Structure 1
Amino acid sequence: MIVLKDILYRVTINAVVGSTSINVNKVEFDSRKIKSNDVFVAIVGSISDGHNYISKAIEDGAKAIICEELPKALIDDITYVKVDDSNKALAFIAANYYENPSENLRLVGTTGTNGKTTVSSLLYKLFKKAGYKVGLLSTVKIMVDDKFYTTTHTTPDSLTINKYLKEMNDEGVEFCFMEVSSHGIHQSRTEGLQFEGGIFTNLSHDHLDYHNTFAEYRDVKKTFFDQLSKTAFALVNVDDKNGLVMLQNTKAKKYTYALKTYADYKAQILENQFSGLLLKLNDNELWSKLIGNFNAYNLLAIYATAELLGLERVESLKLISELESVNGRFEYLVSDEKITAIVDYAHTPDALKNVLETINTIRTKNEELITVVGCGGDRDVAKRPKMGYIASALSSKVIFTSDNPRSEDPQSIIEAIEAGVEPQNFKKVVSITDRKQAIKTACQMAQPKDIILIAGKGHETYQEVNGKRTDFDDYKIVQEFLKQLQK
């Protein structure tokens, strides 16, 4: 049990009805999880409003209610705390409830449209290789040193974040690397956390179904850097014009990285092949197993962060050269027929363009590049024709297919993608709604030395259709179909 007033520290309170000196059990924002003596935080969500469940939470045993609007009928012996923003209040309450665990480790957040997972995951691997106990909060998984947990959100809710950070404290974790999404920032999930550093990778068209305009999307990302303390560092990619925007109001120590412009941390690509990259990082040569220009940026961000966190330069370079790609991020295999299949999470126009341009830079043009791609349902519809334009312009052949259709008609999503194809590229395009059949067709179309790119889902091992998730792993499926061709 804990005293209510002890977990309200730093929460902006408008009114209190009842006593804050009461003992409470745990904190919940899901009314279905409420038990005796719990605190219920009523969140206004995109689908439902927690204020509609206050009565049910009290019936189930809630002793205290945190809300933006007080109920018309107040019940004796229940404490009501009125706040401006329940999401923000939850973030501070969660941090206080778990004894502010972010203050006891070195937490670094990575934000941007592309590269968050790669940068965070590889920093986790790098510091593990260097002998530290390390934590990871990412799209792909949560790691508490060697313990693995699955995750469903890029940035988990505030209670989940602090729960795992507290577990990291208990396990003696020193560093934690965390993906910070625009949704997470906007919903105040990172409030109340003490970051030692923030990394900005890049910004391009994404999540405009959630953020109404690109400017709003950019400004939400910027909020993360505005909130960094003066003892933290802010490391931004200044080849992206939004990099300097992120630094405008930050109190943190400012550092920049770039391939094309002047920066504190500079890289030059000396060789770019399917076997890897040869880079010059601030006058140090480095061979990496990672591939492509976008990974040159990721590696540069990792190198800079390692130095800013105090890792010795020679050791850092050695360990970075041993790093391998993250699941579903330019993950590739070569069949006995010498057909190369690449699986990548590229689900935004910019990410798809980066991957296709990387492949086209490396290939000799004697091979065909066959791209299998779709777009998720119930998400940003404006990017669909852009994806169609890019895929058809930069590939030899394209198969448009389903991604995660969710509640939308898969065929209507494909038609929206097709709308971006220019007339001269019509002959390159085939549409196959069934994703498994689309991958099979790509394998049947491929000749020796051809390249197949399967984009959009990457590390995901499911497909979501009408609220139901079924097992679906792009990498395993293409691997199986290529094996069948060898028989």
Structure 2
Amino acid sequence: MKLEALLERMEYELLFGDLEKEVTGVYYDSRKVSNGGLFVAISGTVVDGHSFIPKAIEAGAKVLVVERDDIEAPADVTIIKAKDNRISLAILSAAWFGYPADRLKVIGVTGTKGKTTTTYMVKSILESAGYKVGLIGTIEAIIGEEKIPASNTTPESYIIQEYFAKMLDAGCEMCVMEVSSQGLMMHRTDGFTFEIGIFTNIEPDHIGPNEHKDFDDYMHCKGLLFKQCRLGIVNGDDPHYKDVIEGHTCQLETYGLKEENDIYAKNVKLLHEPGYLGVSYEVSGKLDFPVKIDLPGTFSVYNSLTAIAICHHFKVSEEKMQKALAKAKVKGRIEMIKGSDEFSLMIDYAHNAMSLKSLLTTLKAYHPKRIVCVFGCGGNRSKLRRYEMGEVSGQYADLTIITSDNPRDEEPQAIIEDIKIGMAKTDGQYVEIADRKEAIRYAIEHGEKGDVIVLAGKGHEDYQEIKGVKYPMDERVLIAEVLEELKR
């Protein structure tokens, strides 16, 4: 591809060389550069890509995109200067893949909670209406029949554009994707316009030296989505939503439980039957029809209402929305597993105090006989998280079974001892069983009629990480094995 064509939507200054040359690839990792490639030097928080320019040149880079004036290179290397190379990478990546988002309708979902569930619900509803839909998110990217495990909620801009191009090749008309505040802050979603941007909710999270400096910065970064979409659909019940959308450039619609929203839910009812938790409500405002979903809690109302607010813009019938929502499931997100007619059993990704508290308080509203919470905490992570999760489970669960999560380089028992420090601040009952399968066995074997048993923390993960090795471990498999062994 001609360099001049690659640069057509980018603001830049030509420091040296010519623009007529052919480019064989766009790279931001000097180890992957091939002969004739273009290398984008990104100034990261830990590593400065400019220091890898000699390696990129040695590997055959013929174009450098830089942020500094003092770059030296051979006479046959063109040097382009830009203000922010994260933006440069996004725009160059879009150009390299032929601007695939111009031919896809891209739906972006941002918020502290609910992104994953909402994206899967939207995909399910749109596909029930005959659309072919790709997905990019925390668990995986789905492109046609291909599923690619995710390493970031929102991948690097080059990867996003590559996925878009693959989606077009697979016949997709739409993509629904999770958009993290980090992804927005690091310009991973620059270079295209979202058809619809969604805001689910916001709570203090991801605030620290390597993420956002404070809550205002977190809200500002979430709000960047609404300067990059045609239509914004926002949770009008969230107390911070006006701060998030400040300076928006899109049309706006609201949804929620309050009647002043454009679309709202009324007559919300919690459904509790043996081995089953769900919720029903009526959609009101711009739309009017009943909904029943096999997922518990008020947050499931919000997630499904978000999906409805999106999908009605694509002319999906009420009947198709009802049917798709009735069977919507997301791996590892309040995922109900049939274990007994006596008690309810579920798997959820709740892996910090905020998400665990939200889950357990939601379940308390169903007035179960007991809430039994099985969880551990990850190794090589903050001890504060362990204390907090121990305290939350001690407060809101009737019985906690403390077990192992991903111990990584730490000893499982040492992590359990930290969790117990938090538990000690409460009157909560607990047992400790380091082996996760045995912890699950204990929960199931001692399950009582009317109990809700929650396996928290692992969610969609199908491995356990111990000392640098990821061993296969899927809680669904463990549950099936335990049930079979108990039957015998």
TM-score, normalised relative to structure 2 = 0.90
Residue 351 (structure 1) aligned to one of 348, 355, 366: 355
The worse-fitting range, judged by mean Cα deviation, of 395-404 and 121-130 is 395-404
Q: How does 1:37-436 map to 2 (within 5 A)?
A: 37-69=36-68, 72-209=71-208, 210-228=211-229, 232-260=230-258, 262-268=260-266, 269-273=268-272, 274-282=276-284, 283-312=288-317, 314-336=318-340, 338-365=342-369, 368-378=370-380, 383-407=385-409, 410=412, 413-421=415-423, 423-425=425-427, 427-436=428-437
Task: Report the CA distance shift for 1:193/1:467 in structure 2 as closer, same or farther (over 3 A).
Answer: farther
Measured in 2, the distance between the counterparts of 1:157 and 1:477 equals 34
Deviations 1:108-131 (A, max 9, x none): 100111111111111111111111
CA deviations on 1:229-252 (whole Å, 9 max, x unpaired) are: xxx111111222122222221111
Quote the Cα distance in structure 1 between the aligned partners of 2:421 and 2:44: 33
CA contact (8 A) 1:238 1:261 kept: no
1:393 offset after TM fit, Å?
Answer: 0.9
Corresponding residue of 1:458: 459
C-alpha change, 1:183 and 1:270, in structure 2 (3 Å) is same
Q: Which moved more, 1:254-263 or 1:64-73?
A: 64-73
- Identity of paired residues, percent? 35
Give the aligned residue type for 1:442. A
CA distance in 1, matches of 2:83, 2:106: 28
Q: Cα gap change, 1:10/1:185 in structure 2, threshold over 3 Å: closer, same or farther? A: same
- Aligned residues between the structures: 479
CA positional deviation for 1:275: 4.5
How far apart, CA to CA, are the structure 2 residues paired with 1:315 and 1:459?
30
Residue 143 of structure 1: how far off its partner (Å): 2.1
Tell me if the contact between 1:247 and 1:254 (Cα under 8 Å) persists in the aligned partners. no
Q: Does structure 2 conserve the Cα–Cα contact (< 8 Å) formed by 1:205 and 1:349?
A: no
In structure 1, distance between residues paired with 2:42 and 2:393: 40
Residue by residue, what CA displacement relative to the aligned partner does 1:66-116 show, whole Å, maximum 9, x if unpaired? 222356532221112222222111011101111111111111100111111
User: Deviation string for 1:315-338 (max 9, x for gaps)?
Assistant: 443333443211111112232473
**Alpha-carbon distance in 2 for matches of 1:193, 1:109:** 12
> CA offsets per residue over residues 354-381 of structure 1, 9 Å max, x none?
221222222442xx32112233345566
Consecutive unaligned residues in structure 2, runs of 5 or more: none
The alpha-carbon distance between structure 1 residues 430 and 16, as it changes in their structure 2 partners (threshold 3 A), is farther
Name the CA shift for 1:109/1:173 in 2 (closer, same or farther; >3 Å): same
The one-letter amino acid of 2:328's match is E
**Contact 1:38–1:62 (CA<8 Å) still a contact in 2?**
yes
Name the CA distance, whole Å, in 2 between partners of 1:246 and 1:358: 26
Question: CA separation in 2, counterparts of 1:203 and 1:407?
Answer: 33
Q: Deviations over 1:167-190 (max 9, x none)?
A: 222333222111111221121100
Shift of 1:459: 0.7
Secondary structure in 2 matching 1:299: helix
Structure-2 separation of matches of 1:405 and 1:213: 29
Whole-Å Cα distance in 1 between the matches of residues 387 and 135 of structure 2? Answer: 35
102-111 or 414-423, which moves further after superposition? 414-423
Matched residue type, 1:389: E
CA–CA separation in structure 2 for the residues paired with 1:460 and 1:233: 33
Please state how far the C-alpha of 1:447 moved relative to its aligned partner: 3.7
Compared CA separation, residues 261 and 378, structure 1 to 2 (3 A) = farther
TM-aligned CA distance change 1:137 to 1:469, over 3 Å: same
- Closer, same or farther: CA 384–6 of 1 in aligned 2, 3 Å: farther
The corresponding residue for 1:17 is 16
Q: Which 10-residue stretch deviates more, 449-458 or 69-78?
A: 69-78
- TM-score w.r.t. length of structure 1: 0.90
Compute the displacement of 1:254 (Å): 0.9
- Cα distance in 1 for partners of 2:65, 2:467 equals 34
More off after superposition, 55-64 vs 139-148: 139-148
Summarize the Cα distance change of 1:322–1:18 in structure 2 as closer, same or farther, 3 Å threshold: same
Deviations 1:418-438 (A, max 9, x none): 44446342x513444444443
Counterparts in 2 of 1:392 and 1:320: CA distance versus 1, 3 Å: same
8 Å Cα contact 1:9-1:93 kept in structure 2:
no
1:360-407 per-position Cα deviation (integer Å, ceiling 9, x unaligned): 222442xx3211223334556654433222221110111333433445
Partner SS state of residue 213, structure 2 = coil
How far, CA to CA, are the matches of 1:45 and 1:51 in structure 2?
10
User: Mind listing any 5+ residue stretches in structure 1 that lack a counterpart?
Assistant: none
**SS of residue matched to 1:248:** coil
